[in-house]
Structure 1
Amino acid sequence: MSERGVDFMQGWIHEHLPGELPADKATARILTTLAALDARHSGLEVSEIEEDFGSLERVIYEALDQPEI
């Protein structure tokens, strides 16, 4: 388990998903690309995050669908 990956993803979702975004796959794909770029900029590989969460796109899609997370 990568604590860095968990911390990054939880923080990223909290920072980028508040508000009224559509809970659709197109939005999830765009946000997945942005999250991956931000992760790499922070020195993390997407694979490190996906070790803990599974598919990054799925995690973001589910977060869009359940904004109280």
Structure 2
Amino acid sequence: MSTRGINFLDKWMAEHLPNAITDDPLPIIYLTDEAIKAAEREGIPSEEISEEVGSLFEVILQAMQHREGKLGGLKLCCL
């Protein structure tokens, strides 16, 4: 993934993931779709993100499971 893609996804997740821990797939599917749409609006194709992280669903799932009650500040390098 490009630096542009990593920076976008890191910022998007910090701004959009709820302050909750979940393994329920429905909100994660919704968030995955929203992230892809937002990336495409920024001119970043979903393939550019999936090339590096694989499953965006899995990245968001892991992020949601490791929120530790904090908003923002989650870095992709730590997943």
Question: If the length of structure 2 is used for normalisation, what is the TM-score?
Answer: 0.77
CA–CA separation in structure 2 for the residues paired with 1:18 and 1:26: 13
Please provide the CA RMSD for this pair.
1.5
- The one-letter code matched in structure 1 to 2:33 is T
Q: 2:77 aligns to what?
A: none
The 2-side partners of 1:20 and 1:66 are apart by 9
| Percentage of identical aligned residues | 38
Residue 21 of structure 2 contacts residue 66 of structure 2 at CA under 8 Å; is this kept in 1? no
Q: Which runs of 5+ in 2 are unaligned?
A: 69-73, 75-79
Partner of 1:23: 23
Aligned to 1:55: 55
Higher normalized helix content (fraction of residues): 1
Structure 2 equivalent of residue 35 of structure 1:
35
- Matched to 1:29, the amino acid is I
Q: Does structure 2 conserve the Cα–Cα contact (< 8 Å) formed by 1:50 and 1:56?
A: yes
Corresponding letter in the other structure for 1:17: L
Please list every run of 5 or more consecutive structure 1 residues that lacks an aligned counterpart in the other structure: none
Q: Distance in 2 between matches of 1:25 and 1:11?
A: 22
Indicate conservation of the 8 Å contact 1:5/1:52, yes or no. Answer: no
**Under a length normalisation based on structure 1, what TM-score does the superposition of the two structures give?**
0.87
Give, in angstroms, the shift of residue 18 of structure 1: 4.2
Moved over 4 A (4+): none
